[in-house]
Amino acid sequence: MASQLQWIEPEDYPRLASVRLRCYSPATDRMQKYIDELNGPNSLVKPGDAVIARRDGVDVGTATSLQLSMWMRGARLACQGVAYVGTIKTHRRLGSASEGETGVATQIMHAILARGRERGCAVSALMPFRASFYEHFGYGNAERLTAWTVPLSILPRSRADHFRFFDPDRDHDLILDLRSREVRAGQCDVETTQAMLANWSSAWSGGMVFIDHAPGGSARSYAFVTEDRKPEAATLQVQEWGCESPDALGRMLAFFSSLRDQYSSMTITLPGDLPLNRLLRETQVPHRQVDHPFALPRPFTRMQIRILDHRTVLESMQLPGHVRGKCSVAIGECEGTVTRLSLAIEGGRISVSPGPADCDIECSDVVWASLVSGDLAASLAHRFDRIRVHTPEAVALLECLSAGPAPFCQEYF
């Protein structure tokens, strides 16, 4: 059964809060939380960002299309941030493929993708509850992270001067400037705006924020931390952080080390290509049971992206200048179409034109998103049969898409 989809205005926010509650909340007494999120001064939702699906007079599902900016290989791209996708608990999995019906969430996702294209977004991004569900809509993994648990006793030790407590009257602009430098140097990071920083910092009173103030007046790093205090041990939990350089990260770790009389360990999530153990006093990640302090990593994936405008994304990115060559790619889109592209790479740039009927490489839109983001190297995709290769030289050429930092997003939406 088809749902009626409505892109709503602020006067419909009570309906939106109600349907969000019935999608996600474990209890009906939490309505005010959802109302406050929408009507608060730091709300990221703008008029026309949220859609509600309605069946038989009942609001049964929702999703939100945020207007963000993502940086990919030095290029600022219009990005759709997909959030709060959900179906209320009484209307899930009611679609029947054998009868040609689609579920509520599927209909909503088709509308969300159409909205992103209407707004001229080159990329659509989301933080999935289940990646395999969003692969049906062309989203591929585009972020590699590692959650580290580290005893403070093995952190690097050095002077931790210039760290101070966050001052809201003078430090917001310093953190915005730090985030701007960080996002431009990263891959698939989402730009932090004044409104987004205000939204995240509204939770900072639940912990403490430290900032590394450089003598020149800028911020080298910052961290929002909370604690998990139990009778047997206390853990320092780094909830948010930003660093301008590897040296700044080392300084921040040394600062945390100075707190080892108060905490026994810390947790922090870092980019998947950052080998934190190499910075520690004990570099081992043990292969067997040991009786000395060591760091414990847990790798995981989070953000997925869908490439909505292939030409804009590819022609905007800055790649290694020595790479030169041509290849063609056929991308099977989830809508049932095939996008064929001819790529000419020279001087750190890609020129895109329509591709031939027989392309050098064939892949799905899901795999293509991971290739373009740098999450999956072309050589690995070939080795594990994620792409179909007709011209082996094209694999080596596309390897340049994974050159540079691994995709990692500091924002969460």
CATH of the domain at 251: 3.40.630.30
pLDDT the model gives residue 1: 62
User: Average pLDDT of the chain?
Assistant: 95
Question: 216: which residues sit within 8 A by CB, 6+ positions away?
Answer: none
Asked if pLDDT for residue 99 goes beyond 70, the answer is no
Nearest-angstrom CA–CA distance, 400 and 319: 7
Residue 216 has pLDDT above 90, yes or no: no
Q: Which of 369, 362, 373 lies closest to 402, judged by CA?
A: 373
What's the pLDDT tens digit per position in 152-175? 999 999 887 889 999 998 999 999
Query: By residue range, what is the domain housing residue 323?
Result: 309-402
Same-domain pairing of 316 and 263: no
The CATH number assigned to the domain holding 342 equals 3.30.1050.10
Q: What's the domain count of the chain?
A: 3
Verify that 103 and 221 share a domain, yes or no.
Answer: no
Give the pLDDT confidence of 237-250 residue by residue, as tens digits: 999 999 999 999 99
Give a yes or no: residue 317 inside a domain: yes
pLDDT digits (tens, 9 = 90+) for 320-348: 999 999 999 999 999 999 999 999 999 99
Please state the rounded mean pLDDT for residues 231-240. 96
* Mean of pLDDT values over 119-135: 97
Q: Is residue 132 part of a domain?
A: no
Over residues 361-382, mean pLDDT? 98
| 406 Rama class: left (phi>0) / alpha (psi -120 to 50) / beta | beta
Q: Of 248, 273, 301, which one is at a domain's C-terminal end?
A: 301
Identify whether 140 is part of a domain.
no
* 180 and 291 assigned to the same domain: yes
Residue 40, pLDDT score: 84
Q: What is the pLDDT of residue 403?
A: 95
The residue out of 250, 268, 301 marking a domain boundary is 301
27, 110: one domain: yes
Residues 154 and 276 in one domain: yes
Band the pLDDT of 95: cuts 50, 70, 90: low
- Same-domain status, 156 and 254: yes
Same structural domain, 188 and 293: yes
Task: Give the neighbor-by-neighbor strand order of the sheet with 234-243.
Answer: 163-165, 208-213, 219-229, 234-243, 265-271, 144-151, 296-301
Give the total residue count for the chain. Answer: 413
* End-of-domain residue from the set 262, 282, 301: 301
CB 16 within 8 A of CB 6: no
